[in-house]
Amino acid sequence: MTELAPAVEQAGFESLWVAEHSHIPVSRLTPYPAGGELPRMYMHTMDPFIALTAAALASKTLLVGTGICLLIERDPIHTAKEAASLDLLSNGRFLFGIGGGWNREEMADHGTAFETRWKLLRERVEAIKALWIQDEAEYNGDMVHIEKSWFWPKPVQKPHPPIILGGNGPNTLKRVIAYCDGWMPNRGAALQRIGELRQMEAEAGRGHVEVTFYPRATAEDIERAAAVGVERCIFYVSPDGRAPALMKLNELAKLTAPYQSK
């Protein structure tokens, strides 16, 4: 991270993102959403907040984001503190991507039921917002309870770092409108719903929801995403070592150069 982050910044990219899996149960029965075998990289992810802190301290303007943080598997108080500390140490450069996850066995080991994970996610988001915003913070939901407490540090970004929800499910846009600031779909068909998102925005009388997307690394896919209103594209760089990563980064910089100043 201490080498990758400055290289990403020097290549002209806006942000660097990392994924999260606390562990992958060997007895996993849940199918991989993309089909086929689960890529081995899923078994080797670092803690996102430690990795992003290293990236932030090794760069000057680079935004750092979780893509995504599995908040359904995390203590909300500790996560609020880690995220606020990262936002403070980076001087307001943190983007908080979150999601409901897909691996039933992984979340079960954290005591999270697959069927109620979305309710839990919303309450943990609301509790974290309370900790970030209120001087004497408290939250009382059906699944999350925090007694009136002092909590610091507060994030640099006000009222808080952008909360970006990943996913493509039928209720995802409702969740984005209800308690998030951005949407992060990861499949092409989801782009057809951006018009629906804008209509829901207007009906709710709320501010603009930024769309972040994971296209294939082709000029055609990038152009297609830009044409429908995607504001940020994220590209995968394989963790195959320093030289391959820097080579891939150089390829992506050339591919995205026409869009980096837009």
Kindly state the average pLDDT of the residues 36-65.
95
Task: Give the domain CATH number at 57.
Answer: 3.20.20.30
Amino acid at 185: P
**One domain, residues 155 and 177:** no
C-alpha dist (Å) from residue 38 to 113, 135, 136: 22, 43, 44
Whether 101 shows a pLDDT value over 60: the answer reads yes
Q: How many domains are contained in the chain?
A: 2
> What's the pLDDT band for 261 if we cut at 50, 70, 90?
low
Report which of 81, 72, 91, 83 is spatially closest to residue 49, judged by C-alpha positions. 83
Domain boundary residue among 161, 187, 213? Answer: 161
Q: Which of 99, 128, 161 is the last residue of a domain?
A: 161
Q: 180 and 115, same structural domain? A: no
Domain boundary among 127, 161, 195: 161
Do 173 and 141 belong together in one domain? no
**pLDDT for 186:** 83
What is the 3 state secondary structure string of 180-216?
A: CCEEECCCHHHHHHHHHHHHHHHHHCCCCCEEEECCC
Average pLDDT over residues 152-181: 97
pLDDT number for residue 231: 96
Q: What is the pLDDT of residues 191-250, one digit of tens each?
A: 999 999 999 999 999 999 999 999 999 999 999 999 999 999 999 998 888 899 999 999
Full domain range(s) for residue 31: 1-161
Q: What is the pLDDT of residues 177-192, one digit of tens each?
A: 999 999 999 877 789 9
Entry field: residues in the chain: 262
Mean pLDDT across the chain, nearest whole number?
A: 96
**Percentage with pLDDT > 90 across the chain:** 88
Question: Is the alpha carbon torsion for 177, 179, 182, 186 positive or negative?
Answer: negative
Angle at alpha carbon of residue 137, lines to 135 and 143, rounded to 5°: 165
pLDDT in tens, 109-125: 999 999 999 999 999 99
**What is the reported pLDDT for 125?**
99
pTM: 0.96
